[in-house]
C-alpha cells in the first residue's frame, strides 16, 4: 500500500484534533479510536518526516491512555529519530521510551543514534538521549555506550552532567563491568559545588548502598563532609539514609556521625529532615542513649501535632524504637491509646502495633480484654486487625507469654463470637495446635469446642467454617475429656450442619464416629461385658450421661461432677443407660441416612462407614437381653471385640509435626524419580483406561449380592492385559516404597452471608475515657504475680531454619575492585589523559602509576571476600610468589598499625576528600581498621 498523498498530509489531524474528537465522543469512543488508528497506520508510512512524527505522536498518546500496541511502529520511530530537527527527535525518543523493551527486534539499531546524540553539542539533545537510555538500556547498550557516559560525567554543562550521573545507576545495573570505568569519576562528583549535580550523585549512592552497604563504607569521609557542610535538605535526607546503612557496619562510624545528626535535629525546622534524623537514630544509632532521648522528644512533638501525617510518622518511629527502648512507648502511652479511636485507619493500625509491643506474660490478659472491647465497637477491617494482632502476639514462639492456657482457649472462643470476626482459619490452627501441644488444657478445650458447636450463629458465617471444623475435630479426638459426650453427638449431627461445606461436614461425621465408639465402649464397660485389663488406660471410669437422649436439653455444667483424678480425663459419677444408647443409635441413623446419597464422595464414604458400624453392633448390643444366656454372651463378646478394635484405631494420640520434617528425610541413593516414572508411562501405555460407564455409585439401598455387567467387563479387560500388568507388578515390586497415593484438595466456598449478631455479648463499657483508663492501668508495670498453678508443659519441636548462602553479585565485586585495588583499574584522574596518548607512552605512565601505589597497597590487610582477594594488583601477585601467605599475613599484622598511622598523618591536611576517596580504604566489620577520619 502506498503512503498518503500530499493532500492527505496537508489535512492531517494533529494531536489536538484527536483529543478534541475523543472528548466529543460520548458513546462511540471505541469506533473513533479504531478509525484514528487506521489513519495513523497510513500516515506513519509517509516519507515526509513531519507527517510521520505527527502520526507517531498521536500513537504515543493512544498507547499511554488506552494501552494500544505500538510494536508495529518501532522501526518508524527510528526513522523519525534520524531527523535533524529537535522537535522530531523529542517525539521519537518519547515513543521509544514507552514502546521499546529488551525483546524489541530493532533495539540494537538505536545504538548509533544514541552514540551520535550523546556526543552532540546541543545539551538538550544529549538530555533526550540520556533520558531514553535510562528507560531502555540493556546489557548491549550499556556496554557500548559506557565510554560516552564516562565522558559526560565530567561535562562542563551541569544540566548534562546531572542527567549522566542519574543514568549511571541503570548502566551499573545492566553492565556491572562499567563500574571499573565510571566509578571513580562518579566519586569525584561528590565534590561538585552545584546542588543539582550533588543531589543526583547522592541519590545514586543512596540506591547503591541500599543493596550492598558494606562496599561503600570507604566513602564514609565524603558522605560525612556532605552531612556537615550541605544546606540542602533533600541531599541531607539522602546522606542520612546512607549512614543508616553504614553505621551498623562500623561502631566508630556511628560515634562519629551521631553529633552532626543531633545538631540537625535541634536546629532544622523542616519536619522531613527531623523525621529522617529520628529514623536514622532509632534504626542505626539505637545504642546512643542521649541521641535516642532527643529523638523520642521530637517524636512526642509529632504525636501532639494536629497533622495526621506527622502523627502517623511519630507512631511509626515509636514502633521502630520499641523493641530496644520500651520506655519510649510507656512515656507516650496516652497518645498511643487515644490513637486507637482515631479516624485515620493507618494511625489506628500503628497504635495497635505499639500496644502489642507492650504485651508480656504479666499483662497479656488485661490488654487482650481491652482490645477485645475495642474490637466489638470497631469497623470490620480494624476489628480483624485487632484480632489478628492478638492471635499473632499470643502464639509467638510457641505461646511463650501464655501461662494460663485455660484462659487463652476461652479467649479464642470469645473472639470467634465477635460479629465481624473473619479469623476462622487462624483460630482453627491455634485450637488444634494447643490441643496437641498442651495436654492439661484439653478439658477446657473440649468445653469451648462444645459451646462453639451448639452456637447457631456461627453456622451462617463462612469465615468461621474452618473454626467449626477445628471444634468438631477436637470434640472427637479428645472426647474422653468431655463432660457429656451424648450432647456432643447432638451438636455434631444437628440438621443445620447442612449449611456447611462438604469438607467440613466430612469432619463432623468422622468426629461423630469417634464419639459414638467412645460412648458404646463406655456403655459396655459399665455393663461388665469388657474385661478391665483390656480397657485402655486413658478411658474414664464413668462418663456423664445420667439421662437419656430425650433429656439432653436438661443437661448443664452444674449437673455434672468432676472426677477426683485431676490428671486424667474429666468424668462424672453418672452412667450411660440402655435407653440413651438406643436413642443415640437412632439419632445416628436418622442424621446420616440421607447422606448416603450425597454427591460428595468423602461424605458418602464416611456416612457409610458409620452406618455400617452401627449395623454390626446395634442388634448385638440392644437385643442381648431377650436372647438366651449363652447366645447373649456370644453376641455381646462379638460386639465388644468390634467396638474395642475401632476404639484402638482412634486411641493413638496425635502430636505436632515439624514443618520441615519432610525435608529432613534424605533421598535414597540411586533413586531417579523422573527416569522411573518415564519407564512406568512406557510400560502402562497399552493399558486401556476404564470408561466412565464401567462403574457407578450404586443406590444407598442397593443389594450386595448383585453382579453387574461392568464387573464382567473389567474382568475381561484384566485378562487381556496380563502382560502389561505383569510388567507393572514387577516395577512396583522394585520401587514399591515410592508409589505414593494421589491427593486432591477441596475448595471451600465462601458464599454464605456475614455472621449474625452474637446472642451473648456481655456488658461492654462504651465510654472511651473508661477504656483509656483501663488500658493505662493494664500497661502499668506490675510485679510478677504468683500464679496458683504452674505453666503447663508445651511440646516444642527443634526446627532449624537453613538460610541460603548469599552470593556476591557482579556489581558488588566490581565496586570492591575499584575501592580496594584491582589488576585492571586505572585511576580516573589520569585515565582521560591516558586515552589521548600513544600506546607506548600510555603503558609507561600506567607502569609508573602502578609503582607509585605499591607501597600504600602493601599496608592494607584485606578482610573482604575471597573474590576480591583474588583480584588484587599484579604487584601483590608478584610478592605472593616470593613469600607464603601465612608469613605475609603475619608481617602485615605486625606492621599494620605503625604504617597506617604514618600514612594517615601524611595524608592529613594534604588531600581533599575527593582524593581520599581514590585511596583504598582499609575496613572490616569484625576487626575494623578505619582511616584517621574515625580515629
Which has the closest alpha carbon to 496: 469, 457, 539? Answer: 457
Count of structural domains, the chain: 2
Q: For residue 522, is it within any domain?
A: yes
In this predicted model, which residue has the larger pLDDT, 728 or 823? 728
Expressed as residue numbers, the domain containing 578 is 478-650
In order of 256, 483, 493, the CA distances from 511 in angstroms are 66, 16, 10
Strands (E), 607-751: none
CA distance 701 to 670: 51
pLDDT above 50 for 555 = no
CA distance 740 to 307: 61
Residue 612, φ and ψ in degrees, nearest 5: -65, -40
pLDDT above 90 for 202 = yes
CA angle 741, 745, 747 (to 5 degrees): 165
336-365 per-position pLDDT tens digit: 888 888 889 999 999 999 998 888 888 899
pLDDT above 60 for 30 = yes
632, 650, 668 - which closes a domain: 650
In this predicted model, which residue has the larger pLDDT, 715 or 515? 515
Q: For residue 699, is it within any domain?
A: no
pLDDT above 70 for 484 = yes
623, 650, 677 - which closes a domain: 650
pLDDT value at residue 209: 92
* Cβ neighbours of residue 643 closer than 8 Å, sequence gap 6 or more: 517, 520, 521, 524, 617
Lowest model confidence (mean pLDDT) among 25-29, 197-201, 428-432, 900-904:
900-904
pLDDT value at residue 667: 76
Mean pLDDT of 182-205: 92
* Cβ neighbours of residue 710 closer than 8 Å, sequence gap 6 or more: 693, 694, 695, 696
Q: How would you class 53 by CB atoms within 10 Å of its CB: exposed for 0-12, middle for 13-18, buried for 19 or more? A: buried
| 493 and 591 Cβ atoms separated by less than 8 Å | yes
In this predicted model, which residue has the larger pLDDT, 373 or 703? 373
pLDDT above 80 for 776 = no
pLDDT value at residue 95: 93
Q: For residue 925, is it within any domain?
A: yes
| 74 and 104 Cβ atoms separated by less than 8 Å | yes
* Cβ neighbours of residue 626 closer than 8 Å, sequence gap 6 or more: none
748-767 per-position pLDDT tens digit: 344 433 444 444 344 444 44
Count CA within 13 A, CB hemisphere, residue 479: 27
pLDDT above 60 for 911 = no
pTM of the model: 0.62
Instruction: Give the number of other CB atoms < 10 A from CB of residue 409.
Output: 26
Mean pLDDT of 897-905: 43
pLDDT value at residue 774: 53
pLDDT above 60 for 788 = no
pLDDT value at residue 777: 58
pLDDT value at residue 147: 93
4 pLDDT tier (thresholds 50, 70, 90):
low
pLDDT above 50 for 213 = yes
Question: What percent of the chain has pLDDT above 70?
Answer: 66
Which has the closest alpha carbon to 164: 128, 207, 140? Answer: 128
Question: What percent of the chain has pLDDT above 90?
Answer: 37
pLDDT value at residue 251: 87
pLDDT above 90 for 927 = no
Lowest model confidence (mean pLDDT) among 174-183, 378-387, 777-786:
777-786
363-402 per-position pLDDT tens digit: 899 999 989 998 998 899 999 999 999 999 999 989 999 9
Lowest model confidence (mean pLDDT) among 321-325, 635-639, 914-918:
914-918
207 pLDDT tier (thresholds 50, 70, 90):
very high
Mean pLDDT of 917-929: 39
| 778 and 360 Cβ atoms separated by less than 8 Å | no
Q: For residue 513, is it within any domain?
A: yes
CA distance 89 to 82: 7
Q: For residue 289, is it within any domain?
A: no
pLDDT value at residue 638: 74
650, 678, 701 - which closes a domain: 650
Q: For residue 217, is it within any domain?
A: no
pLDDT value at residue 834: 36
Q: For residue 437, is it within any domain?
A: no
Q: For residue 549, is it within any domain?
A: yes
Which has the closest alpha carbon to 203: 174, 224, 182, 223? Answer: 223
807 pLDDT tier (thresholds 50, 70, 90):
very low
What single-letter DSSP state applies at residue 853?
T
pLDDT value at residue 736: 52
CA distance 37 to 65: 13
Q: How would you class 268 by CB atoms within 10 Å of its CB: exposed for 0-12, middle for 13-18, buried for 19 or more? A: middle
CA distance 326 to 318: 9
Lowest model confidence (mean pLDDT) among 31-35, 132-136, 719-723, 889-893:
889-893
The answer to whether the Cα torsion of 497, 502, 507, 509 is positive or negative is positive
Max avg pLDDT among 121-125, 460-464, 900-904: 121-125
Arithmetic mean of pLDDT over the chain: 74
**The CA-based dihedral angle spanning residues 240, 246, 250, 254, taken in that order and rounded to the nearest 10 degrees:** 10
Mean pLDDT of 857-882: 40
544 pLDDT tier (thresholds 50, 70, 90):
very low
416-433 per-position pLDDT tens digit: 999 889 998 999 999 999
Lowest model confidence (mean pLDDT) among 294-298, 312-316, 506-510, 786-790:
786-790
Lowest model confidence (mean pLDDT) among 234-243, 478-487, 692-701, 722-731:
692-701
pLDDT above 80 for 731 = no
725 pLDDT tier (thresholds 50, 70, 90):
low
pLDDT value at residue 272: 92
pLDDT above 70 for 322 = yes
pLDDT above 80 for 530 = no
CA distance 763 to 592: 40
| 549 and 590 Cβ atoms separated by less than 8 Å | no
779 pLDDT tier (thresholds 50, 70, 90):
low
In this predicted model, which residue has the larger pLDDT, 670 or 726? 670
pLDDT value at residue 815: 79
In this predicted model, which residue has the larger pLDDT, 656 or 134? 134
Amino acid at each position: 500500500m502506498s503512503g498518503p498523498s500530499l493532500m492527505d498530509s496537508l489535512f492531517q489531524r494533529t494531536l489536538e484534533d484527536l483529543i478534541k474528537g475523543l472528548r466529543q465522543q460520548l458513546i462511540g469512543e471505541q469506533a473513533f479510536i479504531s478509525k484514528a488508528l487506521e489513519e495513523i497506520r497510513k500516515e506513519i508510512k509517509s516519507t515526509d518526516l513531519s507527517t510521520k512524527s505527527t502520526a507517531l505522536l498521536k500513537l504515543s498518546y493512544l498507547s499511554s491512555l488506552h494501552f494500544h500496541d505500538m510494536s508495529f511502529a518501532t522501526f518508524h520511530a527510528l526513522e523519525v529519530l534520524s531527523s535533524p530537527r529537535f522537535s522530531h527527535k523529542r517525539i521519537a525518543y518519547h515513543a521509544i521510551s514507552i514502546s521499546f523493551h529488551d525483546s524489541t527486534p530493532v533495539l540494537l539499531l538505536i545504538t548509533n543514534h544514541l552514540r551520535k546524540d550523546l556526543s552532540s553539542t546541543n545539551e538538550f539533545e544529549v538530555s533526550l538521549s540520556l533520558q531514553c537510555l535510562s528507560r531502555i538500556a540493556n546489557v548491549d547498550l550499556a556496554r557500548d555506550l559506557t565510554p560516552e557516559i564516562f565522558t559526560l560525567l565530567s561535562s562542563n554543562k551541569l544540566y548534562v552532567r546531572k542527567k549522566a550521573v542519574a543514568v549511571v545507576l541503570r548502566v551499573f545495573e545492566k553492565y556491572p563491568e562499567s563500574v571499573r570505568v565510571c566509578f571513580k569519576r562518579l566519586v569525584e562528583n561528590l565534590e561538585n559545588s552545584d546542588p543539582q549535580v550533588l543531589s543526583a550523585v547522592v541519590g545514586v549512592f543512596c540506591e547503591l548502598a541500599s543493596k550492598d552497604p558494606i562496599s561503600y563504607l570507604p566513602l564514609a569521609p565524603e558522605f560525612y563532609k556532605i552531612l556537615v557542610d550541605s544546606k540542602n535538605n533533600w541531599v541531607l535526607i539522602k546522606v542520612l539514609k546512607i549512614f543508616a546503612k553504614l553505621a551498623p557496619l562500623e561502631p566508630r562510624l556511628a560515634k562519629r556521625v551521631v553529633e552532626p545528626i543531633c545538631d540537625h535535629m535541634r536546629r532544622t525546622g523542616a519536619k522531613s529532615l527531623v523525621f529522617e534524623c529520628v529514623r536514622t537514630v532509632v534504626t542505626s544509632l539505637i545504642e546512643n542513649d542521649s541521641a535516642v532521648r532527643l529523638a523520642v522528644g521530637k517524636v512526642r512533638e509529632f504525636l501532639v501535632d494536629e497533622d495526621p501525617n506527622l502523627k502517623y510518622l511519630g507512631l511509626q518511629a515509636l514502633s521502630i524504637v520499641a523493641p530496644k527502648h520500651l520506655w519510649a512507648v510507656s512515656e507516650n502511652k496516652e497518645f498511643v491509646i487515644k490513637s486507637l479511636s482515631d479516624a485515620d485507619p493507618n494511625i489506628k493500625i500503628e497504635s495497635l502495633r505499639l500496644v502489642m509491643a507492650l504485651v508480656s506474660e504479666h499483662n497479656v490478659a488485661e490488654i487482650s480484654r481491652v482490645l477485645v472491647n475495642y474490637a466489638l465497637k470497631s469497623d470490620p477491617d480494624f476489628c480483624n486487625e485487632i484480632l489478628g494482632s492478638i492471635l499473632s502476639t499470643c502464639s509467638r514462639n510457641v505461646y511463650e507469654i501464655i501461662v494460663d492456657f485455660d484462659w487463652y482457649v476461652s479467649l479464642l472462643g470469645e473472639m470467634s463470637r465477635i460479629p465481624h470476626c473473619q479469623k476462622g482459619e487462624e483460630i482453627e490452627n491455634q485450637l488444634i495446635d494447643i490441643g496437641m501441644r498442651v495436654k492439661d488444657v484439653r478439658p477446657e478445650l473440649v468445653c469451648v469446642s462444645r459451646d462453639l458447636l451448639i452456637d447457631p450463629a456461627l453456622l451462617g458465617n463462612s469465615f468461621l467454617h474452618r473454626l467449626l471444623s477445628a471444634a468438631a475435630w477436637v470434640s472427637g479426638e479428645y472426647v474422653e475429656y468431655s463432660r457429656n459426650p451424648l450432647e456432643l453427638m447432638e451438636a455434631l449431627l444437628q440438621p443445620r450442619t447442612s449449611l456447611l461445606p462438604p469438607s467440613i461436614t466430612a469432619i463432623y461425621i468422622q468426629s461423630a464416629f469417634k464419639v459414638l465408639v467412645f460412648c458404646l465402649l463406655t456403655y459396655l464397660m459399665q455393663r461388665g461385658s469388657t474385661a478391665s485389663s483390656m480397657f485402655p488406660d486413658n478411658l474414664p471410669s464413668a462418663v456423664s450421661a445420667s439421662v437419656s437422649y430425650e433429656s439432653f436439653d436438661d443437661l448443664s455444667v452444674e449437673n455434672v461432677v468432676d472426677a477426683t483424678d485431676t490428671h486424667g480425663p474429666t468424668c462424672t459419677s453418672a452412667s450411660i443407660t440402655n435407653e440413651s444408647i438406643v436413642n443415640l443409635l437412632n439419632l445416628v441413623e436418622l442424621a446420616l441416612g440421607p447422606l448416603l446419597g450425597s454427591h460428595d464422595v468423602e461424605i458418602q464414604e464416611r456416612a457409610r462407614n458409620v452406618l455400617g458400624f452401627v449395623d454390626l453392633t446395634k442388634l448385638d448390643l440392644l437385643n442381648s437381653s431377650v436372647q438366651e444366656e449363652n447366645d447373649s454372651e456370644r453376641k455381646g463378646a462379638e460386639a465388644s471385640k468390634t467396638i474395642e478394635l475401632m476404639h484402638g484405631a482412634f486411641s493413638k494420640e496425635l502430636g505436632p509435626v515439624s514443618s520441615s520434617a519432610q525435608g529432613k528425610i534424605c533421598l535414597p541413593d540411586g533413586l531417579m524419580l523422573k527416569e522411573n516414572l518415564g519407564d512406568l508411562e512406557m510400560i502402562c501405555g497399552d493399558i486401556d483406561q476404564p470408561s466412565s460407564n464401567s462403574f457407578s455409585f450404586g443406590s444407598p439401598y442397593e443389594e450386595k449380592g448383585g453382579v453387574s455387567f461392568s464387573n464382567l467387563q473389567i474382568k475381561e479387560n484384566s485378562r487381556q492385559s496380563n502382560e502389561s500388568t505383569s510388567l507393572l507388578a514387577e516395577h512396583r515390586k522394585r520401587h514399591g516404597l515410592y508409589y505414593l497415593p494421589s491427593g486432591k484438595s477441596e475448595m471451600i466456598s465462601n458464599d454464605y452471608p456475614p455472621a449474625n449478631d452474637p446472642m451473648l455479648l456481655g456488658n461492654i463499657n462504651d465510654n472511651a475515657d473508661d477504656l483509656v483508663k483501663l488500658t493505662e492501668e493494664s500497661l502499668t508495670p506490675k510485679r510478677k504475680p504468683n500464679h496458683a498453678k504452674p505453666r503447663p508443659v508445651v511440646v516444642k519441636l527443634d526446627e532449624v531454619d537453613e538460610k541460603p548462602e548469599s552470593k556476591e553479585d557482579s556489581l558488588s565485586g566490581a565496586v570492591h575492585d575499584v575501592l580496594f585495588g584491582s589488576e585492571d583499574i586505572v585511576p580516573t584522574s589520569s585515565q582521560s589523559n591516558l586515552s589521548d596518548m600513544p600506546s607506548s607512552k600510555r603503558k609507561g605512565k600506567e607502569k609508573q602509576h602502578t609503582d607509585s601505589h605499591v607501597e600504600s597497597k602493601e599496608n592494607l590487610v584485606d578482610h573482604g571476600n575471597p573474590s576480591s582477594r583474588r583480584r588484587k594488583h599484579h604487584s601483590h601477585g608478584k610478592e605472593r610468589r616470593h613469600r607464603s601467605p601465612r608469613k605475609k599475613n603475619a608481617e602485615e599484622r605486625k606492621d599494620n598499625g605503625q604504617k597506617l598511622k604514618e600514612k594517615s598523618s601524611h595524608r592529613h591536611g594534604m588531600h581533599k576528600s575527593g582524593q581520599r576517596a581514590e585511596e583504598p580504604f582499609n575496613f572490616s566489620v569484625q576487626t575494623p581498621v578505619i582511616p584517621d577520619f574515625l580515629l
